[in-house]
Amino acid sequence: MTNLNHQANIKLAKLLIAGLLIIGLIVLAAQDLAPDMSYAKLFAYIFLGLAAFAVNLVGLSVIYLNVYQWVLRKGGTDTAWFWFNSEPKGLMALREKLRKH
């Protein structure tokens, strides 16, 4: 169990380091785009941008999941049917066979 915790801690440390490096790259790029802006204002804009992105991502996830649940409740075979013109081959014959039994 200790080895598993150690591996999880190493992965968490790597994730934090990667996150800090990405934030550093974003700050460098933003500082080049707006050289006269203070770091506090720059971090505020970056934080607001990430928060807006997260809210949009969660909102879209909720919308898509509700639509997919509605499709399944209304008898849809699969939520991927939106992407195809018709039911999969053989499905209609299988449904007829099941109705006869």
CA-only gyration radius of the chain, Å: 24
Separation between Cα atoms, residue 66 and residue 50, nearest integer Å? 24
Residues 71, 99, single domain; the answer is yes
Residues 45, 94, single domain; the answer is yes
The one-digit pLDDT tens for each residue of the chain (101 residues) are 577 788 888 999 999 999 889 988 888 888 888 888 888 888 888 889 889 999 999 999 999 999 889 888 887 777 776 676 667 777 778 888 888 87
3-state secondary structure of 78: coil
Block residue for tokens 């209304």 = 74
Domain count, the chain: 2
Which domain range does residue 12 map to? 1-36
Residues 26, 43, single domain; the answer is no
Decide: 42 and 30 in contact? Cβ < 8 Å. yes
Residues 31, 65, single domain; the answer is no
Residues 79, 90, single domain; the answer is yes
